[in-house]
Amino acid sequence: MQFLRTAFWVVIAVAAALFFKANNGPLVIKIWGDIVWETRVWFPILLAFLLGALPFWTVARVTRWRLRRQVEGSERALAAVAATGVPPPPATPATPAPVIATGPGISTGPGISTGDVPAPLPSTPAAGIP
């Protein structure tokens, strides 16, 4: 695995070197009024790439930091439980939930069928009742 990682970074480094060599011409950027920035072509491109990667790199670092803290907290809690010498409770096998079938004529339990359920009351008021 280390070989693949090294090969990947060698390919990236060679591609970057070829890019920098091909884009080594002078570049003049007029920033504001009489402010002029003279640089090589590759530098603003590299700068824009790094500025675009900065938010993603920051989010990745913060996420790794938060996850590392959670793992360390869990390890401390596990070490504290192990230090007390109290064995964890034995695991009980989970019982599957009963399957309830509904529908006309399907039994929902011993001696009960959906045909025994009374029909719902009508939603319209009876005639003659104000």
Mean pLDDT of 4-18: 93
| Residue 24 included in any domain | yes
pLDDT at residue number 74: 92
Mean pLDDT of the chain: 82
| Residue with the larger pLDDT of the pair 49 and 104 | 49
| Residue 114 included in any domain | no
pLDDT at residue number 82: 82
| Residue 50 included in any domain | yes
| Residue 91 included in any domain | no
| Residue 2 included in any domain | no
Element (H, E) at 44: helix 42-84
pLDDT at residue number 94: 76
**CB distance 108 to 102 below 8 Å:** yes
Its domain, for residue 39, covers: 9-84
pLDDT at residue number 48: 92
Separation between Cα atoms, residue 128 and residue 130, nearest integer Å: 6
Structural domains in the chain (count)? 1
Phi-psi region of 75 (alpha: psi -120 to 50; beta: other; left: phi over 0): alpha
pLDDT at residue number 95: 79
Q: Could you tell me which residues come within 8 angstroms of residue 42 by beta carbon, excluding any fewer than 6 positions away? A: 19, 20, 23, 24
pLDDT at residue number 68: 96
pLDDT (tens digit per residue) in 67-124: 999 999 999 998 888 888 777 677 787 777 776 666 665 555 555 555 555 666 666 6
| Residue 37 included in any domain | yes
| Residue with the larger pLDDT of the pair 118 and 30 | 30
> Would you state the structure tokens that stand for residue 104, as one six-digit string?
């006309």
Please check the confidence at residue 50 and state whether its pLDDT lies above 90: yes
| Residue 36 included in any domain | yes
| Residue 17 included in any domain | yes
Mean pLDDT of 12-28: 90
pTM of the model: 0.50
**Which residue type does 107 have?**
S
